[in-house]
Structure 1
Amino acid sequence: MADTRPAGTADRPAATGTLTIRYFAGARAAAGRTEETASAGRCLDELLGELSARHGDRLAAVLRAASFLVDGVTCHDRQAPLPAGATIDVLPPFAGG
């Protein structure tokens, strides 16, 4: 059977139905953890709403200013569906950057 996954994803593990969210710097402090999972099947804006509700105003403020990588690539379309098995990196503004 042919591999029907999008180009460049053949080496990624099969979709698991979850997303991995990794927090860096101030996002890590605001979330109180370095990493967590969430269910797939939504866009970035929807995911951010869930994370804000889950962790409160402090993380919500960080998320408003953060940049996001989806599987290592800058996310420019926050309404695009996030693929199951993806890793979302939350990168708040860094001092001096």
Structure 2
Amino acid sequence: MTVGDPTRDGAEQSVTVRYFAGARSAAGRTTESVSAGLDRAGLVAELTGRHGDRLGRVLAAASFLVDGVVWHDRHTPLPAGATVDVLPPFAGG
């Protein structure tokens, strides 16, 4: 192992999920952590399992940003230390 290795001491590699607007309401929180390495389907399944179908419906229509960039490739796994922003559709003009 090298200095700065996030796996030293058995530390779990994680990702921060931040919820906005209706996603925040459906999740009942503003942030939480999930394991790194999930693809989008895995992330949605994990979060829906934690918070229920109400959040699942929001996630089905939401946009996801990974470290500020739109997550286009649904199969790309989330890297350790990333921040995922969950943005539900917004109404307005």
Q: Quickly name the TM-score band, shorter chain normalised.
A: 0.7 to 0.9
> Which residue identity lines up with residue 22 of structure 1 in the other structure?
R
Question: What is the aligned partner in structure 2 of residue 50 from structure 1?
Answer: 46
Q: What are the Cα deviations for residues 30-75 of structure 1, in whole angstroms up to 9, with x where unaligned?
A: 0000000011122121111110011001000000000000000001
Query: CA 1:14–1:29 in 2, change beyond 3 Å: closer, same or farther?
Result: farther
Q: Distance in 2 between matches of 1:93 and 1:41?
A: 26
| Conservation of the 8 A alpha-carbon contact between 1:18 and 1:37 | yes
Q: Unpaired runs of 5+ in structure 1?
A: 1-12
Between Structure 1 and Structure 2, the one with more helix by share is: 2
TM-score, length of structure 2 as denominator length: 0.85
| Conservation of the 8 A alpha-carbon contact between 1:14 and 1:85 | no
Paired residues, what number? 85
Give the match's secondary structure for 1:96.
coil
- The correspondence for 1:83, drawn from 58, 62, 79, is 79
Q: Runs of 4 or more off by more than 6 Å in structure 1?
A: none
